[in-house]
Structure 1
Amino acid sequence: MKHLPKYLRQRWRYLAVTAETWPDATVERGEFQRHLWYAAQNLLGDAGSAEVDLSVVRFETGAAGFEAIVRTRRGESDRARAVLACLDGVAGDPVGLRVAGVSGTVRACEEKYMRGGPEGIEQSHVAFEGRERTAETRGERVDVRVDDAFVGAATLDI
């Protein structure tokens, strides 16, 4: 069977997505894909989610977040951004998503917007609420472990 000529092929756009989670959260590609489809279906309906046609092309997880490239049809990147904005959690873990940029090819998307994986975490001991606690630091952000959960703070809060 012959391939379609270039002018008849489907055109795609690629969204570079960066996400932050709590340090103890684990997000996998399949779970992210499933929650992305559910969010599209809830926001746009069956026909709308089929038109947007979201799929995860690349997925790289890190200590406290992940980076992904999400594919959508050309002309649907605004609705794809809206779907991503509706996603606030994956598999019971809260997730903060940000679209770093949109590109026409996977390679250009990786070169322009991907940083080579989520930033690393440093563990330290900090004084928080009058006690010494363990904390995990990512740049200016600090996640302080309080009992069995984390509290988000900035370096000035400690």
Structure 2
Amino acid sequence: MKHLPKHLQPRWRYLGVGIEAWPDADLTRGAFQRELWFAAQNLLGDVGSADADLTVLGFRFGGGVGETVVRARRGHADEARAALACVDDVGGDPIGVRVRGVSGTVRACEERYLGGRAGHSGKRNVAFEDADRTAYSRDGALDVRLPSGFAGATQLDFEP
């Protein structure tokens, strides 16, 4: 089977996406892809989601932060942004998704919008609710582990 001529090949746009979740969340590329497809189908319908053709590329996630590249057909970047905004839960873990930018090539997208921009995370002990608790710090925000889950806090919550 022959390849299509260059002027008939589909054109793509690549969205650099940042992902944030609780520190104990375990997200995979497949689970994120599935939730993105469901969100696009619910928002755009069968025809619209098939036309946008959203695909997750280069997924990285660990320690509560991650990043990925999402491929969409040219002319459907706004629909891709809207579908990404509808993704709020992956595998039972609540997540936050932020589109950092849109590019015409994967390489430019990775260089401009990805590459460790998620921040550095660390672990420390804090006094919270009259008890010593474990907290995961990330760019001035703290996720404090409680018996019922996590609570979000900032450095100002712990300063005297």
1:106 maps onto 2:115 in alignment? no
Aligned length: 158
Name the aligned partner's letter for residue 5 of structure 1: P
- Residue 121 of structure 1 and its aligned partner are, at CA, apart by 2.1
5+ long unaligned stretches in structure 1: none
Secondary structure of the residue that 2:115 maps to in structure 1?
Answer: coil
Provide the aligned C-alpha RMSD in A: 1.2
5+ long unaligned stretches in structure 2: none
Aligned-partner Cα distance in 2 for 1:154–1:105: 37
What are the Cα deviations for residues 75-122 of structure 1, in whole angstroms up to 9, with x where unaligned? 000010000001111010000000000000000000100033743321
Q: Which residue of 1 aligns with 2:4?
A: 4
Matches within 5 A, 1:12-31: 12-31=12-31
Q: Which residue of 2 aligns with 1:145?
A: 145
Structure 1 moving runs of 4+ over 6 Å: none
Aligned-partner Cα distance in 1 for 2:10–2:43: 24
What are the Cα deviations for residues 10-62 of structure 1, in whole angstroms up to 9, with x where unaligned? 00000000010000000000000000000011111101110111001111112
Q: Which residue of 2 aligns with 1:136?
A: 136
Q: Which residue of 2 aligns with 1:48?
A: 48
TM-score, structure 1 normalization: 0.95
Q: Which residue of 1 aligns with 2:67?
A: 67
Aligned-partner Cα distance in 2 for 1:32–1:117: 20
TM-score, structure 2 normalization: 0.94
Matches within 5 A, 1:112-123: 112-116=112-116, 118-123=118-123
Query: What is the identity percentage for the equivalent residue pairs of Structure 1 and Structure 2?
Result: 58
Instruction: Assess if the C-alpha contact under 8 Å between 1:63 and 1:118 holds in 2.
Output: no
- Residue 128 of structure 1 and its aligned partner are, at CA, apart by 1.5
- Residue 130 of structure 1 and its aligned partner are, at CA, apart by 2.4
